[in-house]
Amino acid sequence: MEIRRQQPKTLINRNVHVFDFDATFNPYRGCSHACKYCYARDTHQFVNLDRGHDFEQIIFAKEFTTTQVMDQLNRIPLSQTIAIGTATDPYQPLEGKLRITRQFLQAILVSGHGVSITTKSPLVLRDLDLLTSLAAHQQIVVHISLITNDKVMAHNLEPGTCSPRRRWQIIDGLVAHGVPAALFCAPIIPGWTDDHETLDQMFAIASQKRVSWLMTAPAHFTQPMFEYFSAHLASIDAIRTLSFRRNFADNGTLLPWYRRQLQQTIDRLRNHYHLSAQRAAPRPHRITVQAVFDI
Ligand code: SF4
C-alpha cells in the first residue's frame, strides 16, 4: 500500500447534508476495506487515480495540527453535527498507525460538537475511552455498516473488512460501554442481499443487539460505478448479475417499482421487529476543561 500524506487547508466539509448531517470529516481519501460497491471510489478519479486498484492501495492521509483543527471546529455552529467517515472508513487499518481519527475525536471533546462515526472496523473499540466520554453527554452515535450476515458474500463484496460476526461483536462492545450503536444495512444490493431471508436475519439480530436504530438504503451508482460493480459481480456469478442489472436503468439508478417493493419489505420488517428508522441526533456539549488532550 502507498500512503500519501497531505496537509489540506480545509479539513471539514460543510453544507453537505449527508444523511441529515451538516458537515463531514474524512481523515483519509481511499479505503483499503475495498468494498466493491463503494460510491467513494469515484473520488479517486478527481486526483487522476483509478476507482479500482488505486482506490484500495493509494491512501491519502489528512494531517493537521491541534490549532488548525480547533480553528476550523470553532467556526462551525455548535448546533451542527459532524459525520466522520462518509467517503472513507475512519478506522481502516491505516488508522491503527496514524491515529488521525483519534486526534479528531480529541478535538471534538473540546469543541463540544455532536458527531456520528460510520465504520466497519473493530479498531473503533480502541477509542472507547473517548467514545464513552462523548456518549456520557449523548454527543455521539456509532454506525456499524453491514450488508449481509453471509460471510462468503461479505468477503466477496467487501474483501478488506472483518467478518459479519466480528461486526456484531463491535456493536456488542459499544453497547456494553454505553455508546449508542446503530446498524447501517446499506447498500441493499438487488438480487444479492435483498431477499426476505437475508433482510429478516439482519433485522432479527439487530433487534437482539439493542441497536439504537437501523438504517437501510438501496444501492445507487453513478453510471461508471454501475459498470464497475456489475463487472465485479459477473466475475462471481454471471446469472445473478443479470437479475441485479434488470432492476436498474442504464444510468445506474434504481427503477421506481423496485424501490417501492423494497420499501414495503423494509416497512414490514420494521413493524415486526420494532426497529426505528429515526436516529436520535447527537447533541452538542461544551466543556471548559482543556486537559482532554491528555486522554
Ligand atoms: S468501508 Fe466504506 S469507505 Fe471503505 S471501501 Fe467500504 S464502503 Fe467504501
Whether 147 is in the pocket of ligand 1, judged by its Cβ within 6 Å, is no
Once rounded to an integer, what is the mean pLDDT over residues 145-158?
Answer: 98
Q: How far, in Å, from the CA of 33 to the mean position of ligand 1?
A: 6
| Residue 34 main-chain phi, psi, to 5 deg | 60, 35
Please say whether the beta carbons of 87 and 23 come within 8 A: no
Q: How far, in Å, from the CA of 267 to the mean position of ligand 1?
A: 26
Distance CA 94, CA 59 (A): 9
Q: How far, in Å, from the CA of 92 to the mean position of ligand 1?
A: 9
Q: How far, in Å, from the CA of 145 to the mean position of ligand 1?
A: 9
pLDDT by residue (tens digit) across 51-107? 999 999 999 999 999 999 999 999 999 999 999 999 999 999 999 999 999 999 999
Please tell me the predicted confidence (pLDDT) of residue 210.
86
Please say whether the beta carbons of 272 and 89 come within 8 A: no
Please say whether the beta carbons of 86 and 115 come within 8 A: no
49's CB contacts (< 8 A; 6+ apart) are: 55, 58
The residue whose C-alpha atom lies closest to atom 8 belonging to ligand 1 is 38
For a pocket test of ligand 1, which of 86, 88, 91, 161 has the largest count of ligand atoms closer than 8 A to its C-beta?
A: 88
Residue with cell 478527481: 46
pLDDT by residue (tens digit) across 272-289? 999 988 777 899 987 655
Q: For 2-280, CATH number?
A: 3.20.20.70
pTM of the model: 0.94
